[in-house]
Chain A
């Protein structure tokens, strides 16, 4: 990339277009100070970094900008923006450059996930609402039959008048139905009045990653209308998933979607239920002082709710494993590093770059010495597990609900896929 640049008359079509769409992006204001680049885990991938990428846009090198796959390695995690003295919104620039790619040339994995979600009116893996309903009811029935403590357990889909509406990552019903159960148990324990939505129940939104505004909006709007008009729930709870949370949180604002319900993360509820004594968890079980750390999803923390939800997450973790057994990563909370699984990267074809990106997260996790990483996010979960294997780590990656049910002593035999051998049999 050292070929000479002929400038004379600047033609910055791409810049102009983005500045019209996002007037607050301050693209021109760049001081070329490098704070973004020093904080970005995608720095160096495809010989680019946030500063260079923006510079190319400012110098009008539109053709080169449009060609680089770097925009699919950048996870739009906003860590660059948080340090920028000029509030230059590079993530929005990346998003809009993604959007400028011909749709058919955007990464197939992301595109198909988006398309399935729209066509199935349910989720990114294409499971239809009726299949989802069947699966949920079938698994719930099995729990009632095999686990006497939960003989009254209920899991509804599309129940009108429920107070809370919860979405579900499509991995649940499609590939690992037993992973849905721990969260049901938690909801049962606290006596929640809840339901899944009947349509657009999938806790994901790959149309957002595809930079497909129309379909991103369609998913969120359909869900919002369904909740308000068909179900009448007071609260929409996002399950353990960062990008799904952000797609709804930001989508409601970005597309001006009217809604009557309140939108919250399940992490906030975990913390609330523990504080209220409804979820009587403790760390007594952790007699071997197993060390835990946690990854707060960028989408949930830095990009949406900020440090308060990061504090909730830590409160939950410490309640579950004991203050002394919780080891934080540094930096953390709103200044956390993205794991590299965001932005649709797991569905994009740049695995080498994604894993190199994830090396920072891997090193951070290894530095904690923790045996377990608990993550309230499916993308983080998949990425952190993958980089562990790729970079030769030895930690285990689990969801929060697994840990909660473990602490409550109610984690079933089939609900332990992600636990290590030390806990695989624990409490059975």
Chain B
């Protein structure tokens, strides 16, 4: 492949959270993105979820900004209702043929008012609500959909049904009532060809369908619902408007049961050998949310096999659910659900001792598993990539987002079941991998918008234009818009007022631009919907007319007014007037603001030279940027040097050796061994670092990859008997002394040594799999060896479950113990002696093993010091804390700083690599810029003299954007503009009024308040 001849664009297939993240990362690092989504809107499954674990964030609230950003990004070409038809070419230069299905609605004309749907006579099951409600034949998938454009469902539409049956088409109600002439029944399927350098596949998953099951009777029992149904029942836009009621009789449930592993870990009722990796957590979340949601005390019980809360803060979430919320966890798989006369459900189950219990529930939720996307086989066929037996994309643990065809990448559940943060990480990693070979073409296909020179309005009296929007019927049917418009004319400085049916429609925007000029306006107020989605659109119109975009104010008379005061139209009209008056009052005082730009050093500092550090460093170096890797020890490699193989069986040593060689030899990488950080100063784009070796350098970003290692222990005779080993010791023994190992008659492995207890209330995530791998290897060395694994829950999430199955098939005995009844290890007559109670028979078992291996907890080391130096947070367990657990899994909240690998949380090698690649692309978001442009709505000093240097604002600033400096006038606060997000905490805190926020100044607020009370 000729490097200079690569195409600077990437195709992302699938518009779920994974696809969105990949697209945004690529578009922000200089690549043009063609985003292909099969359905009418992006958002994927996350858009249908109510809350997300473990933070209980509202799913839509955290997703929506990303949807909007993706939808309006100048370098993302969003193609909905589109599928891949065929692919030709190779890595760097693919030609993709796409099939674009007709929407029958003109995207440019449709303003999403919904009149068409309100008039459409045809109702069909609403997929977004899992078929529990109806939608119309012309529809948007959900109310926050991007793009917010209607679509005609041809299979449901009465007109098309007649046409397709060879009859004369009738109805066309949508066309008749559409004010914007947007309906186009003649729309046709199109074939489009696009050239891209790489392709990322992220089509997501399909949920397991339990309809055929005769034991749980999902199809026949109304109050047996799936977990996806339950998400919609909890959701505000769901079938019961967010009221937690039973579907059969709309009664509020008092008891709900969850049944785990429906469609997972089951080779009988389906062929899913794997664990779906997310169901334990989502079931707990649903139970917690339901319990909090319910007006009456709600009894929630979760029936499970192993509780797999293996992720960061997951065990704490589980503990809290059990101990504080009172969720009951019952370790039992249910045979059958019975329906009682009133629609309640009866469950007969065996407790752990084998006693039969009966319990009735008002509802039962089936925690359905994640299966490969139903589109996966077709997609694989068209792209030539290989799928595994479960139809998940095949990847290696060492290049975890690369599909089997060079230049094609796989992210999210397409390559195995996983949760949102891991999907987001994989998406970012895929963006990194997809852009590495395209680096020479960075910026060649991206666009920037050109605007006319800005008119100088300084010294002019404010001339305010007010545009009041009806938003179809959204505002106009409640608020008396003409009355508001008449009122606006009476306001000070207002020289022009008009009302529109849809202010946002394209033709209105064009007319507005003309009005600005004709009326010589220098301030604009739009009274319409929310600035969250529409402010950028209106601001663009200002810029196109030569006005500074900050000379604008939006009054939200829809979300804040007509939508919430539907029953009081007169009062709503009064409130709309107030909102307009306040906007006008504020805009009069608004001044033009210029974006702040700062330069940067295009180099990265990587702290920690383990696999994660090396991968992130190499990823950045390969894209042409300078990298410094700082390693405390005298060699690179970290704990990977002690590992034998990945869970897929690949040899870690070969990979690590190659990686060390590549890193050491790379011209863009400087490796600093035997070195630690002595001092770091500066901010995003402009850091300065001094090492303990005395070396100093500048860099634009920092990636923390300091890792974590096995904890010490004094339990189970460790350190006293030489045959009690730590897990790495057994790895070493298997490699170095196979003959000694082979001679053993019996071996015991004890899991959770130092994990999941009071001192360390977290799961070390990798131990179960590691124990099982070693056990299988012991059996391979000597099939007659008796191997026992003593565990608390087996947490072989995802396809690791197949290893667990293999281990059982090989006759390895798993014995479960509780924290309050741990195994006892003694030395009797020089022999090791283990006593543990069998979890099934309830009888003590004594084993005299030749050796015992302890799966000791993974613990971070030295993070407190680094945390203080970098001013980034660590959690209670001393792992570094990312900006947001769900959607910003590798960012610190401080700009320009990132985290990856075990420094973040214990994780297996492929996840560390994924995270390292993700951190690299996030860092590239900074490094790939020539200069950092900062929105001018940031903190600014109005009175430096007023500052007393008390430091209260410094302590409260969540972004480390303020610092204290010693000046000739004494201690003063210093503002780091590049780091400021404009949140305003500092300004609100400063009792000296020394700080203010641009565009949110005190006098602007005062004017607004006055306007409100004068009105």
Contacts and interface: CB of A to CB of B under 8 A. Distances in A.
Interface string A2-21: 11111111101000000000
Interface stretch (B21-29, B263-271, B758-766): B263-271
B849 interface: yes
B810 interface: yes
A331 B337 CA distance: 9
Interface in B355-391: 355-356
Interface in B318-347: 331-336, 338-339
A5 B845 contact: yes
A18 B848 CA distance: 27
A39 interface: yes
Interface stretch (B571-579, B817-825, B834-842): B834-842
Interface string A45-59: 000010110011011
A175 interface: no
Nearest to A2: B843
Contacts of B811: 10, 12, 28
Contact of B846 (A5, A10, A44, A58): A5
Contacts of A31: 265, 305, 333, 808
A200 to B, nearest CB: 35
Given A51-B350, A86-B268, A35 B813 contact: no
Contacts of A85: 261, 265-269, 333
A85 B354 CA distance: 18
A87 B335 contact: no
B525 to A, nearest CB: 63
B846 A32 contact: no
B352 A59 contact: no
Contacts of A43: 350, 354, 356
A10 B335 CA distance: 31
A194 B800 CA distance: 59
24 contacts: A2-B842, A3-B843, A5-B838, A5-B843, A5-B846, A7-B788, A8-B848, A9-B745, A10-B786, A12-B811, A28-B811, A29-B808, A32-B814, A32-B840, A37-B356, A38-B335, A49-B354, A51-B840, A55-B841, A59-B813, A84-B268, A85-B261, A331-B338, A335-B336
A269 interface: no
Interface in A365-404: none
B349 A29 contact: no
B337 to A, nearest CB: 9
Given A28-B808, A43-B354, 17 more contacts: A1-B841, A2-B842, A2-B843, A8-B746, A8-B848, A8-B849, A9-B745, A12-B811, A32-B814, A33-B305, A49-B354, A55-B840, A56-B841, A83-B215, A83-B335, A86-B267, A335-B336
B530 interface: no
A83 B840 CA distance: 18
A37 B305 contact: no
A58 B814 CA distance: 11
A86 B265 CA distance: 8
B838 A33 contact: no
A34 interface: yes
B65 interface: no
Interface in B845-886: 845-849
Nearest to A16: B811
Tell which of A7, A43, A330 has the most Cβ of chain B within 10 Å: A7
A330 B339 contact: yes
Nearest to A33: B333
Contact of B356 (A9, A26, A38): A38
Contacts of A416: none
Contacts of A75: none
Interface residues of A, number: 46
A52 B354 contact: yes
Interface string B201-225: 0000000000000110000000000
A118 B811 CA distance: 40
Contacts of A35: 333-335
B846 A83 contact: no
B348 interface: yes
Interface in A56-79: 56, 58-59, 79
A-B interface, 10 closest residue pairs, ranked by CB to CB distance from nearest: A39-B335, A33-B333, A37-B350, A85-B266, A35-B333, A38-B350, A55-B840, A10-B786, A83-B335, A34-B350
Contact of B847 (A7, A29, A55, A331): A7
A3 B838 CA distance: 11
Contacts of B350: 34, 37-38, 43, 49, 51
A4 B843 contact: yes
A165 B215 CA distance: 36
Nearest to A86: B267
Given A8-B849, A82-B215, A85-B261, A34 B841 contact: no
B131 interface: no
A333 interface: yes
Contacts of A33: 305, 332-333
A34 B335 CA distance: 8
A38 B843 contact: no
A26 B847 CA distance: 25
A59 B839 CA distance: 12
Interface in A80-129: 82-87
A35 B847 CA distance: 28
A79 B356 CA distance: 16
A334 interface: yes
B809 interface: yes
A32 B266 CA distance: 13
A33 B352 CA distance: 9
Contacts of B816: 32
A30 interface: yes
A20 to B, nearest CB: 14
Contact of A32 (B351, B839, B847): B839
Contacts of B746: 7-9
A82 B268 CA distance: 8
Contacts of A52: 354, 840-841
Contacts of A334: 214
B844 interface: yes
A329 to B, nearest CB: 11
Contacts of A1: 841, 843
B805 interface: yes
A6 B846 contact: yes
A38 B349 contact: yes
B348 A38 contact: yes
Contacts of B841: 1, 5, 52, 55-56, 59
A303 to B, nearest CB: 15
B354 A8 contact: no
Nearest to A360: B348
A307 B214 CA distance: 10
A307 B348 CA distance: 23
A2 B842 CA distance: 7
